Amino acid sequence: MSADGAPEVGTAPRVRRLLRQRVAFLRSALTPERPLRIVDVGANPINTPDYDALLDMGGCEVWGFEPEEKAFAELEANPRPGAHYINKAVGAPGKGTFYNHPQNGLGSLYPVSKESVAFLGHPGWHRDDVETAEIDLVALDDLDDLPPPDLLKIDIQGGELDVISNAREKLSQAVCVIPEVRFYRMYEGEPLWGKLDVELHDQGFVLHKLMFSKPTMIPNSQGERLKRKVVRNQLIDGDAVYIRNPEVPQEWSDEQLKQLAIASAGVFSSFDLTLFCLDRLSDRGVIAPDVAKGFVDVLPAWVKKPE
């Protein structure tokens, strides 16, 4: 699959060009008050974020939190217009123990469960020599200088629930939350997806889709005879997209509809949701009735029926 959600056609530069084209169309048609505001908790540059192309074109502003010194140094070494990086750990305010796993991306406020990762076929993820450090955790709601986000992205290996439950004020006007969700526990004591889902529903968000899910093959005696990519059935985790309850769009401001339209088109490729937002704005007389048609005109060919 391409980053655009399509079967592999063309190249990554082509995918980014198409994304820029549709976002540029939306920004021109919608004239939002400001770029999309994104707070990224766990901004470790180990992976390219889904908002990367949007940031490149000036379509969003990012506040990225990263407590790991090495990862934060990498972010600081590559400054980007519109990106602000903060070397703080986010969660429930107070003291916490950080397990500084030597494998990049596995550091967490929870220790890796030896039994869990052995079952998942990754026994090497458990290390007896993991260094720990006492750290200060801050709640998003306590950061007065942090502007309220339109979109909150979180990937911090088990601490997502603490971030969200201590950000109710900051998230009161947000239109989207993209957390990593755990289906099978990897860390001792970490909350699983169910608790996260309940908290987000309590805050007025509903599950929209999974951007991806990560399965693994359960270790077995015949594993060497099997194609791992085919026989992978045990779910571990994935990235979920939650959006503000779409059943009551009359409670959304025009700006919320505009920002969700841009996020859905430029971050997580939900074009039907983009069109839903455009239809509501058209119903209100905020944009011309033909904007939705114009948006479909600039979508990639694989999305549309042949004319």
Check which CATH number belongs to the domain holding 86 and give it. 3.40.50.150
The predicted model gives 137-162 an average pLDDT of 96
Using the predicted structure, report yes or no on whether residue 7 has a pLDDT greater than 80.
no
Q: Between vectors from CA 117 to CA 112 and to CA 122, what angle results, nearest 5°?
A: 115
Q: Domain of residue 120: give its range.
A: 12-303
Considering the domain boundaries, does residue 3 fall inside one?
no
* pLDDT tier for residue 12 given thresholds of 50, 70 and 90: confident
Considering the domain boundaries, does residue 77 fall inside one?
yes
CA–CA dist 36, 223 (Å, integer): 46
Strand ranges in 78-204 using DSSP code E only, listed in sequence order: 83-86, 89-90, 94-100, 131-138, 151-154, 176-182
Considering the domain boundaries, does residue 275 fall inside one?
yes
Per residue in 60-80, pLDDT (tens digit) is 999 999 988 888 999 999 999
Considering the domain boundaries, does residue 6 fall inside one?
no
Considering the domain boundaries, does residue 289 fall inside one?
yes
* pLDDT tier for residue 42 given thresholds of 50, 70 and 90: very high
Domain total in the chain: 1
Q: Higher model confidence: residue 84 or residue 3?
A: 84
Considering the domain boundaries, does residue 4 fall inside one?
no
CA–CA dist 288, 81 (Å, integer): 32
Per residue in 187-236, pLDDT (tens digit) is 999 999 999 999 999 999 999 999 999 999 999 999 999 999 999 999 99
Strand ranges in the chain using DSSP code E only, listed in sequence order: 36-41, 60-65, 83-86, 89-90, 94-100, 131-138, 151-154, 176-182, 205-216, 234-244
